[in-house]
Amino acid sequence: MVSEISARELSDKLNSPTPPVLIDVREPQEFSIANIRTGQLKPLGQIMTWVNELDPQTEIVLYCHSGRRSAQATAFLKSRGFNKVFNLRGGIDAWSTQVDPSVPRY
């Protein structure tokens, strides 16, 4: 089971002095519809390309539309020695309903 964080917990962390790295694992067309402003687009299908760009010691939160793809990415990073990696429970949909209703739902 992967470590998860709620949308509200993520909001608090993003507003802290040391926010986590936020990675959106969706596809570019999804990112263009809705995104969390500090999120970096790194599609799940390209994870073997971008995983080596990340610091395993940094706190990282991954998200997608509903949390399924980002859970896969979180599990993969855990298997590669990332210990401070979390999945956004409910994905950007939860972010939109619980934190920022200006983010479109789709």
DSSP for 42-90?
A: --GGGHHHHGGGS-TTS-EEEE-SSSHHHHHHHHHHHHTT--SEEEETT
Among the options 2, 64, 77, 92, which is catalytic?
64
Active site residue 44: no
Q: Are 15 and 97 in contact (CB under 8 A)?
A: no
Catalytically active residues are: 64
